[in-house]
Amino acid sequence: MLIIDTPPTKTSHKVVSEKVVSEVEHSERALRRIAGWLMLFCLLLGQIGAPWDGEWHAYIGRDWFWTPPHDLIYTCVAGGGLIALVMVILETLRYRKGYRGVDDQSTVRLGRVFHAPLGFYIAGFGALAALFAAPFDNYWHQLYGIDISLWSPFHIMGVTGCFIGALGIVYIFASEAAIDRRAAISKRRFLGFTALEWGALFALSSLLKLTLIGFLLFPVITLGLLRIPTYLIPAVICAGLCLMGAAFLTRRPGAATFVIVLVSIASFATELFVPWATRALVAQEGLHYRVAGQVPYFALNTALLPLFLLPSALFIDILIYWQKRRGKTMREGIRSLWLPGLITTLLEIIIAPCIIMQTANPLQAFLNMPDLSIAPNLKLYTTLIALPVIFFAGLLGTCWGANQGSIWHLNKQ
């Protein structure tokens, strides 16, 4: 039998080449996305450690650095930072070897040496800042003792590092979603969002929860008889960033509401876990509470705290839906967002104090004096001072979120 080997045609070479290229690019996408999900897992665990650490300080103290909450926090921070470092090195090597999908369109150059996605740089710098704050925070406690205030300098440094790290994780998922969107790759959706968009929403919910952890630890301004808490200022800024950012990132109604659903579930689960874990470890290790009889317990108002943002989230999603029905898209910028920013901030001002103070009188709760009779003219005077500041903060957060969300929607790096 005569067998003739037919030489491969140009078409067959092209098919094989495209298949190889597709497999190489698929491996690049898988590498980045697996790293992103692992970093998100570290972030979600770390956000449990932060309120646990505050409760441990308040109820037990701080005899040494390696308390269980600190173990959890710094394991997650170190894990996230290590993943970011490994990814930056791997992406740089793959860029230099000319791997498909690792080019100037999908990476950012740093210092003429490194080439990696922007999100891994940001997350890595955030983890580095949080880790760098740890020994200084320990030294601060040795000098000044137990301090559960958010406003110690190295607490602020650590929280800022975690905030930056969470932003980096949003960048990781958003850039991968943008790459899929530009390539017109059809992905399965759950409740209207792809897995990568859900990853970004989880990261945004963690960012919002990080702000709410220290919600009640911000300083109080005293004006005569009135004590005005400043917690609403960071709350409305971060709410604007996360809710508007989610809406503009996905360009779909429902994103802002799902962020609140996710942060509410996380808040409720944390409030269930932290008091139980504290009591269990005290009993197991034979520890003692700082004040006899003061035992951590489940606080319903703390567990339900994120719900004060739900009306604002629903308003944003209704606005996005209405714009889509009209065949338009919302624009970033103060000219387009001043009214939504004021409305969402007003809803938060009315509802948040009532949940915290457990009263139906929003003005009395806002002034943080639920048991004191205050003259109406003094209430008006104080409110006229405080409200413009909070409204400006809310408008700032809304514009920041819209602009940042547009960047996330378009950025492939």
Q: Please tell me the predicted confidence (pLDDT) of residue 345.
A: 86
For the residues of 308-331, what is the DSSP string, one character each? GGHHHHHHHHHHHHHHHHTT----
* pLDDT number for residue 16: 35
Task: Report pLDDT for 156.
Answer: 79
Give the up-direction half-sphere exposure of residue 15: CA atoms within 13 A in the CB hemisphere.
5
**Which residues are CB-contacts of 226 (< 8 A; sequence separation ≥ 6)?**
367, 368, 369, 374, 378, 379, 382
Q: How far apart (Å, rounded) are the C-alpha atoms in residues 33 and 26?
A: 11
Quote the pLDDT of residue 274: 87
Instruction: Residue 315: name the closest of 231, 394, 386 by CA.
Output: 394
Contact 216, 151 (CB under 8 A): no
pLDDT averaged per 10 residues in sequence order, the chain, 413 residues: 44 40 68 92 87 79 74 88 93 87 84 88 91 78 64 77 91 91 79 91 91 68 66 86 92 92 91 87 77 79 84 91 80 78 84 68 58 62 76 90 91 84
Dihedral angle at the C-alpha atoms of 119, 125, 158, 78, nearest 10 degrees?
A: 90
